[in-house]
Amino acid sequence: ICGLVDEYCLRDWGLNETAAPLQERKDQVMAALHRGELLVQFSQEDQRAHLINVSELPQVSDVEYE
């Protein structure tokens, strides 16, 4: 999880605007994970995991089923 949190912080925010940006952002991301605002998404195709904001998830009506 720590690696996913680091990647999310660097991917979505970069390092700017605060004296200790990475640690503060890690704390914010971990809190969002605990609140259920972020989820771990795994891609079987790529065999990779990443964090995703729940607002980015497709709505059930948007998903096509085979």
Q: Which fold has domain 2-62?
A: Arc Repressor Mutant, subunit A (1.10.10)
pLDDT for residue 18: 60
**How many angstroms separate the first and last alpha carbons of the chain?**
32
Predicted pLDDT at 61: 58
What's the gap between Cα 61 and its chain centre? 23
> What are 10-63's pLDDT values in tens digits?
876 655 566 667 888 899 999 999 999 999 989 899 899 989 888 887 775 555
Confidence of residue 4 (pLDDT cuts 50, 70, 90): very high
* pLDDT at position 14: 55
Q: In the numeric block, which tokens belong to residue 43?
A: 């891609």
Residue 36 to residue 41: CA distance in whole angstroms = 13
Instruction: List the domain boundaries for the chain.
Output: 2-62
The sign of the CA dihedral 26, 30, 42, 53 is negative
Report the distance separating Cα 53 and Cα 29, nearest Å: 10
